[in-house]
Structure 1
Amino acid sequence: MKAIKLFQILLLLVLSSCSSVSVYSDFDKSVNFSQYKTYAFHRKGIDKVQISELDKKRILNAIDIELGKKGMSKSENPDLLINIFTKEREQVDVSQFNLGWGYGWGWGWNPYLWGGQNFVSTSTEGTLYVDLIDAQKKELVWEGEGVGYLTQNRTKKEERINEFVAKILAQYPPTKK
């Protein structure tokens, strides 16, 4: 029984270590990004996002902080419009843990009779998209995407959202290679 508890603890540690955010971005190579100094949120687009209002506020606040670090400021007459989209999907993982011992594959002596224990775990993978739109031309000029596991833990939710946004916007402005 202690071995099963140990396995469950190890499984939780492995799953919690998968907390990194994978980020991707794309941009219009013909755009000079140094021209953009101000921004505003694209309210019509953001209002359509189907997440809680509290999470929207958390995301927008994190964007404000990250763009402020880059020397940008909010404006009523912005150079860029910021829009966000979200997507989530449920991950179901099934694993088998066999503590039995015996001879090779197949039959052998096993304290759990027929091959051990099955463990099912679920997690939610979320994707956050941040789009930067040229306010004058009304054209998308940069898009960033962050993919990672979400948390329902209220105390860690804001921290997780900040991590998503910081890693996405770390790729803005793009560097031409």
Structure 2
Amino acid sequence: MLRKLFVASLVLVLGACTQTPDWDYDRSVQFANYKSYAWSPDADLKNHGREYQVNDLMEKRIRNAISSEMAKQGFTLTDANSADVLVNYHASVDTKLEEDEMHISYGARWNYWGLGWQTHTTTREYEVGTIVVDMIDRNSNQLVWRGAKEGRLRNKQTPEQRTASINKTIAELLSNFPPKPQH
């Protein structure tokens, strides 16, 4: 199952995605106590898939984007034995169908009167990717925060477009980590 999730780093090519991220977290956790992070041993896309986008370049983009966002939040990258949280990430790709219907009605015409109705349906298959970033409390080994973002995948992007897309997706995902205090 986990292997299947990693196959999908294509998800990170979400440049045009309009979906807002989904977050969940443990409300009892004092996120203000977290200052450092390390990579979870499971955070590794390149060894878990055979898709075109799953490679060392994509792995580097993901880690750079997460590191950049964590640094903006004041977190320091450290070794796994002393980190407050472990960062894990994974992805999945699902195939969906999009259906468009066009309704055409008829009215009066030259030398002909009548009514009619015609429906034309077009169906397209497309891929939707989801990237998930998890924060795991190192001491308890419990998941304390999860962010996920879904979007339609785009192929044939330049390396610069892929990097920008990943940076944008990760920034949106981590915009609620640590969670903002509820008033």
TM-score strictly above 0.5: yes
Structure 1 stretches of 5 or more lacking a match? 1-16, 108-114
Name which of 150, 158, 162 aligns with 2:153: 150
1:6 is aligned to none
Aligned CA distance change for structure 1 residues 21 and 102 (closer, same or farther; 3 Å) = closer
Instruction: Report the structure, 1 or 2, having the larger helix content.
Output: 1
Aligned to 1:22: 20
Which residue does 1:31 correspond to in 2?
29
Q: Does 2:87 correspond to 1:82? A: yes
Structure 2 match to 1:167? 172
TM-score by length of 1: 0.74
Q: 2:116 aligns with which of 101, 105, 121?
A: 105
Identity %: 27
Over 3 Å counting, the alpha-carbon distance change for 1:83 and 1:149 in structure 2 is same
Shift of 1:127: 0.6
Give the number of the structure with larger relative contact order, counting CA–CA contacts within 8 Å between residues 6 or more apart: 2
Task: Work out the number of aligned pairs and report it.
Answer: 153
Q: Map 1:104-143 to 2 at 5 A.
A: 104-106=115-117, 119-143=122-146
Identify the residue that residue 62 of structure 2 maps to in structure 1: 59
Compared with structure 1, are the counterparts of its residues 152 and 121 closer, same or farther at alpha carbon in structure 2 (3 Å cutoff)?
Answer: same
Partner-residue secondary structure (3-state), 2:106 = coil
Name the amino acid aligned to 1:72.
F
* Offset from partner CA, 1:72-129 (integer Å, 9 cap, x none): 111012111000121111222232446x66224337xxxxxxx66x544333211111
Aligned partners of 1:129 and 1:143 also within 8 Å = yes
Q: For the aligned residues, what is the CA RMSD?
A: 2.6
Counterpart residue identity of residue 55, structure 1: M
After TM superposition, give the deviation of residue 142 of structure 1 in Å.
Answer: 0.8
